[in-house]
Chains A and B, each alone.
Chain A
Amino acid sequence: MSLLSMLIKKDKILMAVTSFSYLASLIASVSLGNTFLSTKTPISLFNIFYLDSLSVFFVFTISVIVFAATLYSEGYIEKELSHNEFTQDKLKYYYLLLNLFVFAILLVTVVNNLGMMWVAIEITTLISAFLVGFHNTKNSIEAAWKYIIICSVGIILALLGTILFSYAFLFSVGTKSLNWTDLIAVASKLDPNLVKIAFIFVMVGYGTKAGLAPMHTWLPDAHSQALSPISGLLSGVLLKTSIYAILRYTMIANRCLGISFSSHLFLLFGLLSMALAAGLILVQRDLKRLLAYSSIEHVGIIVFGLGIGGPLGLYGALLHIFNHAVTKSFLFFGAGNLVNTYGSHNIRNMKGALKVIPFTGGMVLIGIFALAGFPPFSIFYSEIMILMSTFNQGRFILGALFSIFVTIVFGAIIFYFSQIIFGEKPKNLQVVREPLIGKLSFLFLLVFIIFAGFMTPNLINGLILSIIEALKG
């Protein structure tokens, strides 16, 4: 019920594009999401919407990031307006797209029908392509084109997988249905060979959208060219929605085939993504591309954790979904401010951020240590859980590979960002004062970055535990 009112609220916002009412209702949606967490029984509405712990976990993550992104948008757009990069018309257009985008993302996580889920994911691609190509420059149009084409191909393969699942259902039960609840109920009776093939298609298809190597090629382009609040959303939320879709199918596949089939696939894609990101992150010159490659690495870590499995590994992977979402959007917001201040994406042109733009500089400094996985911050906890689970199971080679890749990325990130943050202030730049509303967005996310690790909120904790129960198969 509360979710429905949330959706209606969103619809209302779509019509009233004024940014203030929009902000207020997003705060409301976060609190609604929170009250929602306490009930903990699956809720279904007219057989169309279905919410279990997995959905609620993602709705919560999405709400947190979207709320922060809208706060940040205010400050960001004010600045762009003063640089004449934005006009009033574009502002309305931007909010319209943003709202549609968020609506589609939320829809993915709450529909029961797997076909509708597919449609919602495809809609997120179509809408966000405009947000990637927003500035209409050569670079951004190229990025948007690659994004929309590669993701559409991927997602058509996912549709093929969806249809094979529905065929498997028809074959063993004799009726037509694409509802997830129906599929999961008979999962153990489905034809294993068919499910294997279908799951591979789904994995490759949605994996494309999740940014898994080797289907990741659109990701660095799109994330670096999008507006910074949107980069944060793409990295923090959109990649995770595809992981949500994969998890839905994993639950079915695990009941049918046992855990080993999906976990081998997960390990393969996870390690590949981490290896590729570790290699390419070393040669980046563009700040936002650097962060995009780090996203590929973290999606790799999440999938690796899902593949390693065991209660601890799964817990780490799921917690990492939340942690990465929070930390990466935090950093993309910071990167957006840096790019705006220096007027360039190139890391070499940025020096002395702490002196030029003190607040963002400081925040980015914290964010970098959090992202690299330094102890007090949340990402450290989820990574160490995954690593411990790996070693507990005696898979030392996998554990060693994991550590090597994480270390390489750690080094690269600290190296590049220390160049940006420290050093002398360039003479031609004034010290920048930042709007309060933008600062609030950083502080809001910072709370989660610091505390989600060693003081995981009860809500997240309870949700993750019940998801693990469902994933066991």
Chain B
Amino acid sequence: MELFVIFGLVLSTFALVFSKRLSALIGNFALQSFFLSLLSFTEAIKGNNLELYVVAMLLLVLKVLVIPRILQNMVKEMQVNENLGFFLNPQLSLLVAAILLYLSWVFSGVVFANQDNLVKIYGTVSFLMISLGLFLMVFRMKALAQVVGLLAMENGVFLLASSVSGGMPFLVEMAIFFDIFVGVVILGVFVYRINKLFVGIDVNKLNRLRG
């Protein structure tokens, strides 16, 4: 089960990098979050802990259903050009992703030096998710892609927290969920405003302030 989830996470993360259209990007993000919630459900069953169930449930509802829905609706409503706008084309991006996978493995080996392989693998996958999230934010032109990249980074951190350090305290976990939800809503408001003022949501148009 764990291997299946890990495989799914890596695959969906690579799919994020390979997506060419906004709706595909958002769909792949939902997939990634789905595997993540699967992982927390298995952990909840293993630990038989109510708090873990709540966390997994919230993950499923917020990140798999609600947030992707909000983002998809925004894409539809604003009627923006669906193409992501690449600063680096998908094939090269995939190559970069492969390199980052290797680097994550090396880094994870340094951080979790005295741990068994499963922990190292979890570390690798979460560092991969974080670095590829950052990669998406830098090398894709659409403002919404930056939002998705940010969320993917957060997924990576969540994976690290739940797999390696046994999850964060319940209260903190709830606060972070709240924070992310509010964050997405606020970012959404700004995307709307950008769309209105700059006609489209290409972030390379945001170049008025320099120096």
Find the A residue at minimum CB distance from B203: A145
**CA of A217 to CA of B101 in the docked complex: distance in angstroms?**
28
Find the A residue at minimum CB distance from B107: A197
| A residues near B130, Cβ cutoff 8 Å | 156, 160
Which residues of B come within 8 Å of A, CB atoms? 110-111, 113, 130, 134, 137, 143, 146, 150, 153-154, 157, 160-161, 164-169, 171-172, 175-176, 178-179, 182-183, 186-187, 190, 193-194, 197-198, 203, 206, 208-209, 211
Find the B residue at minimum CB distance from A283: B211
**CA of A93 to CA of B130 in the docked complex: distance in angstroms?**
35
* Interface presence of A136 (CB below 8 A): yes
**CA of A285 to CA of B111 in the docked complex: distance in angstroms?**
46
Q: With A142-B208, A145-B143, A148-B186 as known contacts, state yes or no: A167 contacts B168, CB within 8 Å.
A: no
Q: With A139-B208, A149-B150, A176-B165 as known contacts, state yes or no: A119 contacts B183, CB within 8 Å.
A: no
* Interface presence of A472 (CB below 8 A): no
* Interface presence of A194 (CB below 8 A): yes
Find the B residue at minimum CB distance from A137: B197
**CA of A414 to CA of B80 in the docked complex: distance in angstroms?**
48
Q: Contact at B175–A116, with CB atoms within 8 Å?
A: yes
- For this complex, into which size category does the number of interface residues on chain A fall? 35 or more
Find the A residue at minimum CB distance from B149: A153
**CA of A118 to CA of B178 in the docked complex: distance in angstroms?**
13
**CA of A144 to CA of B206 in the docked complex: distance in angstroms?**
11
| A residues near B165, Cβ cutoff 8 Å | 163-164, 166-167, 170, 176
Q: Contact at B175–A119, with CB atoms within 8 Å?
A: yes
**CA of A152 to CA of B154 in the docked complex: distance in angstroms?**
10
Q: Contact at A153–B153, with CB atoms within 8 Å?
A: yes
* Interface presence of A6 (CB below 8 A): no
A117 CB → nearest B CB, Å: 10
Choose among B150, B157, B193, B197 the residue that contacts A163 (Cβ–Cβ < 8 A): B157
Q: Contact at B179–A145, with CB atoms within 8 Å?
A: no
Task: Supply 12 A–B pairs (Cβ within 8 Å), ascending by A.
Answer: A116-B171, A122-B183, A141-B198, A145-B143, A145-B190, A146-B209, A156-B154, A160-B130, A163-B161, A163-B165, A163-B168, A289-B211
* Interface presence of A115 (CB below 8 A): yes
**Contacts beyond the supplied A115-B169, A176-B167: 19 A-B pairs with Cβ under 8 Å:** A113-B172, A116-B171, A116-B172, A118-B176, A119-B175, A126-B183, A129-B186, A139-B209, A142-B209, A143-B209, A148-B187, A149-B150, A153-B150, A156-B157, A163-B160, A164-B111, A164-B165, A166-B161, A197-B110
**CA of A152 to CA of B203 in the docked complex: distance in angstroms?**
16
| B residues near A146, Cβ cutoff 8 Å | 206, 209
| B residues near A166, Cβ cutoff 8 Å | 161, 165, 168
| B residues near A138, Cβ cutoff 8 Å | 197-198, 208
**Residue interface bits A280-321, CB-to-B below 8 A is 1, else 0:** 100110000100000000000000000000000000000000
**Residue interface bits A382-399, CB-to-B below 8 A is 1, else 0:** 000000000000000000
Q: Contact at B186–A130, with CB atoms within 8 Å?
A: yes
Q: Contact at A176–B209, with CB atoms within 8 Å?
A: no
Choose among B175, B186, B193 the residue that contacts A136 (Cβ–Cβ < 8 A): B193
**CA of A152 to CA of B143 in the docked complex: distance in angstroms?**
14
Q: Contact at B164–A167, with CB atoms within 8 Å?
A: yes
Choose among A153, A177, A221 the residue that contacts B209 (Cβ–Cβ < 8 A): A221
